[in-house]
A and B are shown apart, each in its own frame.
Chain A
């Protein structure tokens, strides 16, 4: 005895809306015409990978604004490099303006007082870039535990407005 599903499938096949369409063979003329169309169509090469841009804007409880961004090229480096920016007394070069693509929160932040709304980094912010090589242990030294930096980034930069970042 057929199951309900088998009966339904039999019914669907018997009433196939495309009955006869699948059996219609491609004629030699149709094949030749198709090949002629292929001649004039240029191949599409694989497009270059889009540069990866990632901007994280996070606010620490102390009011420090942290801006992280990661830029990627066509070939991601296997070992991430981490660049940390500490405020110094010397006026820094103005960082290139960043356009946030999307915000990413990798881990929910611990319960704490709701931080102030993060301030956007202003052009006159005092920042200096210090680039260091580091492995993943460096990320754990960041004041925010949820700032997990992983993946294939070429670089990660931290910009602060305050000098109270402890790394």
Chain B
């Protein structure tokens, strides 16, 4: 997919991801470190949603960045860096998932550090995490990419290695399953702030 114009434009004096990656390909470690700073947290969040374990997600995010540094010459400047990054992360996450490693449910993701936060929200996080983890990998992946990460279905399809139509079908099925899992929350009329 060709880059959108807006992704190539250096906005507010900040070079785009693709420009930084071009520099990184030439061996500019600072440029690559800027990409790391820019995307590490979001990538960790993505992996956390997919794996349900923040510690493991952080490890895989780190591994992904280091691996892409060694493979930086393979980066296609005509493609979006973020998609390339998430493809690599997805592969590692799926491999980790398939290796039968048991990731215990991360309690830190569920418990709230803010005592003022309602217990309903804590229960909701637990319910959402359980519902996501109950989905097949591909369905969970498309929901995480499109709902949480803001990717289009086309980009999600690229990351998942399928077609846009297939991604939409998977998302439809995933939504049906999530509606069932979270039905009682909707019936309770849980109003979401914002």
Contact = CB atoms under 8 A, between A and B. Distances in A.
A18 B175 contact: no
B92 interface: no
A43 B70 contact: yes
Nearest to A45: B73
A140 to B, nearest CB: 34
Interface stretch (A19-27, A62-70, A98-106, A115-123): A19-27
Interface stretch (B15-23, B33-41, B77-85, B155-163): B33-41
Contact of B179 (A4, A13, A21, A38): A4
Contact of B29 (A13, A39, A44): A39
B93 to A, nearest CB: 13
B125 A19 contact: yes
A7 B102 CA distance: 32
Interface string A65-101: 0000000000000000000000000000000000000
A31 B48 contact: no
A16 B148 contact: yes
B60 interface: no
Interface residues of A, number: 34
Contact of B182 (A11, A18, A44): A11
A38 B67 CA distance: 10
B193 interface: yes
Interface residues of B, number: 50
The 6 closest A-B pairs by CB, nearest first: A15-B128, A22-B45, A18-B45, A15-B124, A18-B48, A17-B129
A48 to B, nearest CB: 13
B179 A8 contact: yes
A31 B29 contact: no
Interface string B26-66: 01011011001100111011101100101001000010011
Given A37-B66, A44-B71, A18 B148 contact: yes
Contact of B33 (A5, A17, A25, A31): A31
Given A5-B175, A14-B192, A39-B29, A46 B74 contact: yes
Contacts of B40: 26, 30
A30 to B, nearest CB: 8
Contact of A35 (B30, B143, B147, B179): B30
A12 B129 CA distance: 9
B185 interface: yes
A15 B70 CA distance: 36
A92 B115 CA distance: 87
A47 to B, nearest CB: 9
